[in-house]
């Protein structure tokens, strides 16, 4: 029993991270981030690929997306091109991913410190997240939640397809952050699972501080409450969207790096993991961080117990969990008129 609970908490911690990222992105941009799962896969498999001394395809993808984003920036600003702005766009969109790619080539084929691999994986996925917002969502940021959702599904399809191209259909595992093992009877703790707990808690606390203490965090919260109002007081909402995507992609990649030493990840595993984060986020109503974190632990627990007692129906049970939640929401939620475009 206890080890099931332990397993559930480990998984739940990951779902909590993803759920928080989803809530963050939805609150700031109204985008339901289906590709969150791809950030997990990309993070995990990029890390695994780097650890085996190869160049991950994601680094090339980041550069390609950066070039497209740069092109879009040029096109959008074609009437008032200033050298300084163009230069900055070029630096962020082209030079940065090019530098990352060059670095991955430079260190390929050698045994590198884990920290370097992690840092590289995170920056690659962060760049992809940033450019994804610029390319796919910034041009339609003003449209309805539904249009954004459909676009989000489109991004998921494309990124998952790329995942298959880059990483192949074979599953991979990455090296653990720590190989320590100790036992507190009857439970056995690995350094990795401790890392999962510590990093999850640290990230949640960090996000909390970021949102309550920093100006950027406050600006993001303001954008979440009212886009138009935020714009009127001078917050660049497009920038808010980019920051939200940056945070979400980094959180996704961290989750991926945390779990890839524990379970074998395939190119499409991220989608399912992300969706479980979703179940948690939906239980939290896509607005509440603490409720989402608690719900994520619940999802992890339900998954662990159902995989033990009814392993065949594990996924069915986890995804059906959403139905009673939706039912409660539909009974409790007042039928508010939505002003649609």
Partner 1 sequence: MRQRLPMIVFAAAMAAIPFIPGMPPFWIVLLDNIGLAALVAMGLVLLTGVGGLTSFGQAAFCGFGAYATAVLTTAYGLSPWLTLPLALLVSGIAAVALGLITVRLSGHYLPLGTIAWGLGLFYLFSKLEFLGRNDGISGIPPLSIGAFKMIDPGTIYYAIWSSVLLCALLTTNLLDSRTGRAIRALRRGHVAAEAFGVQTPRAKLLVFIYAAVLAGLSGWLYAHFQRAANPTPFGAQAGIEYLFIAVVGGAGYVWGGVLGATIVVILKEILQSYLPYLFHGEGQLETIVFGILLVALLQLAPTGVWPWLIAHTPFKLHRNRPDTSLTLPPRTRDKAAPSVLLQIDHARKAFGGVIAVNDVSFDVRLREIVALIGPNGAGKSTTFNLITGVLPSSGGTISVLGNKINAAPQEVAKLGIARTFQHVKLVPDMTVLENVAIGAHLRGKAGALASMLRLDRADEAKLLAEAARQIERVGLSAHIDTLAGSLSLGQQRIVEIARALCVDPMLLLLDEPAAGLRHMEKQQLAKLLRELRNSGMSVLLVEHDMGFVMDLADRIVVLDFGTKIAEGAPEAIKANPDVIRAYLGAVA
For tokens 């390319």, the residue is 135
Binding partner 1 (rule: CB under 8 A), the pick from 48, 101, 279, 295 is 279
Closest approach of Cβ 338 to partner 1, in Å? 6
Query: Which two structure tokens, joined as six digits, stand for 14?
Result: 């990951």
Residue 79 interacting with partner 1 (CB under 8 A): no
Residue 288 interacting with partner 1 (CB under 8 A): no
Closest approach of Cβ 272 to partner 1, in Å? 8
Structure letter (DSSP) for residue 112: -
Residue 291 interacting with partner 1 (CB under 8 A): no
Closest approach of Cβ 74 to partner 1, in Å? 17
Q: How far is CA 134 from each of CA 69, 114, 186, 192, 213, rounded to the nearest angstrom?
A: 6, 30, 50, 35, 27
Q: Is 109 left (phi over 0), alpha (psi -120 to 50) or beta?
A: left
For tokens 């703790």, the residue is 189
The candidate with the shortest Cα–Cα distance to 133, out of 64, 31, 225, 48, is 31
Residue 78 interacting with partner 1 (CB under 8 A): no
Please give the Cα distance from 229 to 216 (Å, whole number): 16
Q: Which is nearer to partner 1, 258 or 265 (CB)?
A: 265
Where does this chain touch partner 1 (CB under 8 A) — which range of 9-17, 82-90, 247-255, 332-340?
332-340
Residue 308 interacting with partner 1 (CB under 8 A): no
**Radius of gyration of the CA atoms of the chain, in A:** 20
If binding means CB under 8 A, how many residues of this protein chain bind partner 1? 52
Closest approach of Cβ 340 to partner 1, in Å? 6
Residue 158 interacting with partner 1 (CB under 8 A): yes
- Long-range Cβ contact pairs of 206-210 (< 8 A, separation 24 or more): 207/20, 207/24, 207/247, 207/289, 208/289
Q: Which is nearer to partner 1, 31 or 196 (CB)?
A: 31
Query: Which two structure tokens, joined as six digits, stand for 196?
Result: 């999962």
Where does this chain touch partner 1 (CB under 8 A) — which range of 3-11, 13-21, 164-172, 291-299?
164-172
**Contact letters (x/-) for partner 1, 3-22, by CB under 8 A?**
--------------------
Closest approach of Cβ 19 to partner 1, in Å? 13
Residue 76 interacting with partner 1 (CB under 8 A): no
Residue 338 interacting with partner 1 (CB under 8 A): yes
Binding partner 1 (rule: CB under 8 A), the pick from 58, 73, 121, 156 is 156
**Which are the contacts of 285, defined by CB distance < 8 A and separation ≥ 6?**
291, 329
**Contact, 126 vs 246, CB < 8 A?**
yes
Please give the Cα distance from 319 to 23 (Å, whole number): 18
Whether residue 186 has a cis bond before it, omega within 30° of 0:
yes
Binding partner 1 (rule: CB under 8 A), the pick from 28, 32, 124, 304 is 32
**Contact, 226 vs 249, CB < 8 A?**
no
The neighbouring-strand residues paired with 182 are 189
Residue 332 interacting with partner 1 (CB under 8 A): no
Segment 33 to 62, residues that bind partner 1, using CB under 8 A:
34
Q: How far is CA 15 from each of CA 6, 68, 163, 308, 328, rounded to the nearest angstrom?
A: 14, 32, 21, 19, 22
Residue 329 interacting with partner 1 (CB under 8 A): yes
Query: Which two structure tokens, joined as six digits, stand for 5?
Result: 């609970």
The residues that touch partner 1, with contacts defined as CB under 8 A, are 32, 34, 135-136, 139-140, 143, 145-147, 149-151, 153-162, 164-165, 168-169, 272, 275, 278-279, 282, 286, 312-313, 315-316, 319-320, 322-323, 326-327, 329-330, 333, 335-340
């Amino acid at each position: 029993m206890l080890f099931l609970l332990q397993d559930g908490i480990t998984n739940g911690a990951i779902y909590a991270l993803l759920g928080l990222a989803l809530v963050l992105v939805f609150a700031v941009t109204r985008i339901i981030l289906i590709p969150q799962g791809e950030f997990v896969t990309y993070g995990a498999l990029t890390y695994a690929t780097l650890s085996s001394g190869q160049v991950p395809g994601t680094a090339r993808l980041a550069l390609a997306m950066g070039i497209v984003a740069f092109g879009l920036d040029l096109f959008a600003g074609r009437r008032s091109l200033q050298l300084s702005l163009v230069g900055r766009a070029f630096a962020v969109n082209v030079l940065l991913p090019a530098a990352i790619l060059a670095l991955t080539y430079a260190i390929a084929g050698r045994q590198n410190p884990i920290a370097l691999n992690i840092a590289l994986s995170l920056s690659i996925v962060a760049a992809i997240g940033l450019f994804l917002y610029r390319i796919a969502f910034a041009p339609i940021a003003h449209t309805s939640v539904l249009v954004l959702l459909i676009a989000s599904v489109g991004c998921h399809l494309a990124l998952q397809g790329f995942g298959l191209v880059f990483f192949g259909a074979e599953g991979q595992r990455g090296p653990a952050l720590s190989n320590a093992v100790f036992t507190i009877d009857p439970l056995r703790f690995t350094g990795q699972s401790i890392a999962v707990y510590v990093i999850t808690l640290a990230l949640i606390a960090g996000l909390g501080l970021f949102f309550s203490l920093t100006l950027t965090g406050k600006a993001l919260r303001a954008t979440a409450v009212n886009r138009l109002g935020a714009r009127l007081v001078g917050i660049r909402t497009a920038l808010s969207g980019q920051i939200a995507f940056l945070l979400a992609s980094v959180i996704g990649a961290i989750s991926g790096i945390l779990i890839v030493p524990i379970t074998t990840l395939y190119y499409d595993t991220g989608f399912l993991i992300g969706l479980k984060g979703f179940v948690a986020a939906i239980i939290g109503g896509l607005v509440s961080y603490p409720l989402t974190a608690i719900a994520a632990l619940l999802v992890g627990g339900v998954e662990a117990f159902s995989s033990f007692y009814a392993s065949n129906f594990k996924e069915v049970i986890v995804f059906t969990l959403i139905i009673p939640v939706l039912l409660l929401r539909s009974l409790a939620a007042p039928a508010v008129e939505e002003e649609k475009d």
